[in-house]
Amino acid sequence: MAQASGMLGNGSKAVKVHHLIKAPENTPESVRRRESWDATEPATVYKTPEIMPDGTHCTAATVIFRTRGCVWWWKSGCTFCGYFNDVRDDVTAEDLFAQWEEAKRRLDDFEGCSMVKVYTSGTFFEDRENPPEWQDVILRETHERGLHLVVEAQAQMCTPEKIAWVAERHPGCTVAIGLEAYDDTVLRFHVNKGFSTKQWHRSVEMLKDNNLRVKTYLIFKPPFMSEGDALRLTTKWVTEVAPYSDDISVNPMNIQRRTVVDRLYRNREYRPPWLWSLVDMLEITHADTTGANARMIVHPTAGGKLRGAHNCGKCDEDVVAAIERYSVSADLRELEGLDCDCKQVWRVEIDNDLTLPVPLGTGSDRRGLPTDLLRAP
């Protein structure tokens, strides 16, 4: 009890449920660390090669803002989401405008870019998260400058009025929704997503009605799921959401600090997905995604590292590169000829996961020789 009250801070009354259920994240030290940044500067800006809605190659600018964060996270939050590390309660409209100016300065005023991704660690057009006057400027300015805009949203934040409001200011922009799993049980018990597949369908309809583009994020291997189930289910979900999506981005789990998944990982109860599973998924779903005209994107964040999707350590670089190439070309030949001794270990794990009654999987939680792993602290 003494330890618990220590985790809760200085003894003053907790004002949000969140302060109780996410106690370690709310220790004075965690809050101090998280809030040590300057609110007038964006978290990150960078440029990457991308593909425009018409299929042409382009350069995209990504701006990750420091915001008040996701309304859902402040209430509860998804099990893998570490975005709270970039957010805090007191960000003002002035701060957000200053961040936009600073982003443009660092990106040479979008020189050479045809696309801008504006990420806010939550829902871009949610008024409790981001001031409407700021949303208005971002939407109009990017549209007037002929820049294709990508923003992110939670499904239940999409209302007919708000989507129409967005479409009026930036016709044809892309709205990315973190569906994560096309399965209500997984959404509820593995992801803690805060919305259902029914709500997702409703939001997709609203976006289509307003001629906006739909990007669907799926997570590969949420917690409390074996590798075999992750492969079996995600493959099925990709096929099922393809007819409703312009882009599908499958995000292999990467372990972000201080999240539920991080705690499982540190407890040796979770291993991020194998890169071989991603290759298998791309091969199985290729015909369905191309048939539905949905672009398939997989960028393994921290690919090859222990906290990202990885194989044995020897073949990772080649496999990550092939997956990245496939995301640009949608050509299955990118995945041809990949091989390594570890592929057999992965195959056995998948087969066992799908035949033995071990819900959390049969694989090892870390890569390496079993004898070395036994000796590890």
CA 152 to chain centre: 10
Using CB under 6 A as the binding rule, whether residue 203 contacts ligand SF4 is answered as: no
Binding partner of 315, given ligand SF4, Zn ion, none, CB within 5-8 angstroms per partner class: Zn ion
232 vs 367, beta carbon nearer Zn ion: 367
Judged by CB under 5 A, does residue 320 bind Zn ion? no
> Which option in ligand SF4, Zn ion, none does residue 134 bind, with CB closer than 5 to 8 A by kind?
none
CB of 122 to ligand SF4, least distance (A): 5
Q: Does 255 bind ligand SF4 (CB under 6 A)?
A: no
* Token pair belonging to 43: 């978290």
Say which entry of Zn ion, ligand SF4, none residue 72 contacts (CB below 5 to 8 A, set by partner kind). Answer: ligand SF4
Q: Which amino acid is at 326?
A: Y
Which window, 24-32, 123-131, 160-168, 332-340, contacts Zn ion (CB under 5 A)?
332-340
SS3 146: coil
Binding residue for ligand SF4, selected from 43, 81, 177, 260, defined by CB under 6 A: 81
CB burial readout 35-68, b (16+ within 10 A) else e: eeeebbbbbebebeebbeeeeeebebbbbbbbbb
Q: How far is CA 187 from the centre of its chain?
A: 14
**Applying CB under 6 A, does 199 fall inside the site for ligand SF4?**
no
- Report what 154 binds from ligand SF4, Zn ion, none; CB cut-off 5-8 Å by kind: ligand SF4
Instruction: Residue 78: name its binding partner from Zn ion, ligand SF4, none (Cβ under 5 to 8 Å by kind).
Output: ligand SF4
Closest Cα to residue 37, out of 76, 3, 8, 65? 65
Amino acid letter, residue 140: R
Binds Zn ion by CB under 5 A, chosen from 175, 187, 218, 340:
340
Say whether residue 83 binds ligand SF4 (CB under 6 A).
yes
Indicate the residue type of 1. M
Local structure of 88: helix, strand or coil: coil
With contacts defined by CB under 6 A, name the span among 51-59, 77-85, 202-210, 228-236 that binds ligand SF4.
Answer: 77-85
Give me Rg for the CA atoms of the chain.
21
CB 175 within 8 A of CB 134: no
Q: Are 253 and 261 in contact (CB under 8 A)?
A: yes
Nearer to ligand SF4, 258 or 325 (CB): 258
Footprint of ligand SF4 (CB under 6 A)? 70, 72-73, 77-78, 81, 83, 121-122, 154, 178
